[in-house]
Amino acid sequence: MTEPLVSQRRVNSAARILAGEPEDAVRVLTRLKPEELAHVGEVVHQLERLRAVAAGDHDQIIDLAFEEAFGSDGLGHPPWVQGAVIVAPGSIINKSKTNHRCRFISVNDTWVWDSIEVIREDKRSIPGTNEGFKAVALLPVLNGMTLDVVTGRARAGQHQVDRVVSYKVKRGKLVEVAQRNVKPQGMR
């Protein structure tokens, strides 16, 4: 049997320091070399991610999101925190082969479907005259993570962004930090 990297006694001691006496934790952390501090940050990030993966019933969260996270226009609602995960809905609604409306989420400047942070993403087709698809992604709640909700459309094959709403995870909560309407080029 291999020896654990850190004994349970040391983990409990560290937890008491970090949770009970934050000024002691700050003193310890400020003494670390940059590479040691980076390692601590990576460990915290990994622990948050593991907890998010283990927490909650992801099937139930996703099923409920498909029922409730899309407006009558078919576009996804803003993301939200549910337990240890961020629920991030997105969709594309086709009006024709060259025209559509869409709303998707970017995570730390990467589209959600390309993000290494995605725990799980489910996608479902929308049949009918306005075919397209809806998707729900689950992300861990990681302090400092940024999300942009990008609403756009394509006309005659040319894609245009209409609106961006930006969020940041602060102390386990998703906080709106900015929103902006994007004017098409040449418009005043």
Per-residue pLDDT of the chain (188 residues; tens, 9 = 90+): 444 444 556 555 666 666 667 777 777 778 778 787 777 777 776 777 677 667 778 899 999 999 999 998 889 999 999 988 999 999 999 888 788 999 999 999 999 999 999 999 999 988 766 788 999 999 999 999 999 999 999 888 788 899 999 999 999 999 999 999 887 654 44
Pairwise CA distance, residues 155 & 100, whole Å? 7
Is 2 a domain residue?
no
The SS3 call for residue 133 is strand
For the chain, what is the domain count? Answer: 2
Closest CA to 135 of 180, 97, 92, 91: 91
Distance of CA 48 to the CA centre of its chain: 13
Asked if the structure places residue 32 within a domain, the reply is yes
Same domain, 37 and 94: no
Q: Are 79 and 87 in contact (CB under 8 A)?
A: yes
DSSP H helices, 55-152, are 58-68
In this prediction the pTM is: 0.74
Residues 97 and 35 in one domain: no
State the pLDDT at residue 166: 97
> Is 159 found in the same domain as 91?
yes
Which two tokens mark 149? 């909700």
